[in-house]
Amino acid sequence: MPDVTLTGPNGPVKLRDHIGKPLVVYFYPADDTYGCTIEACAFRDQYEDFTAAGAEVIGISRDDSSSHDAFKSKHRLPFTLLTDPRGDVAKAWGVRGIFGVGGRVTWVFDKAGVVKHKFESKIRFGKHVDEALETVKALARS
């Protein structure tokens, strides 16, 4: 897992501090937009399945903490949203957007911080959740 620090609701968050259990990290373009809301709500609706398999879910976009707070509240999102204000982390991880819109990529890391799955699609919002959950369940069985 790349060593990065992002802005969380209570200050800086190092993703490597979450190693020790499976981790789903998904980058999305913007809070409260059509596709991003579908994706976030799909993660919300399957969140208990992720946690039952021992995994944590973290979403990342360029939006600031106040935007994340409103998005989380409006859609009852139970997972952490982190801020990458200039897109530096997304760029370092190879997340590419088009026409100024951020990219949409989901990674699943095992408990050692090793990438076990990566899925990238700007329009197949629910597939990010389906593939991440399938991977997390496979990790729980192994």
- Whether 111 contacts 24, CB under 8 Å: no
Say whether domain 28-141 belongs to CATH 3.40.30.10: yes
pLDDT > 70 in the chain, percent: 96
Give 105's contacts (C-beta < 8 A, 6+ positions apart): 26, 27, 93, 94, 95, 118, 119, 120
Residues 1-14: tens digit of each pLDDT = 788 899 998 899 99
Residue 17 has pLDDT above 60, yes or no: yes
The domain spans of the chain are: 28-141
Residues 50-65: tens digit of each pLDDT = 999 999 999 999 999 9
Q: What is the mean pLDDT of residues 95-121?
A: 82
Question: How far, CA to CA in Å, does 91 sit from each of 2, 57, 88, 100?
Answer: 12, 20, 5, 13
pLDDT reported for residue 86? 87
What gap in Å lies between CA 113 and CA 52, rounded to an integer? 19
Active site residue 36: yes
Selecting among 1, 36, 58, 132, the annotated active-site residue is: 36
Structure tokens at 14: 């190092």
Residue 122 has pLDDT above 80, yes or no: no
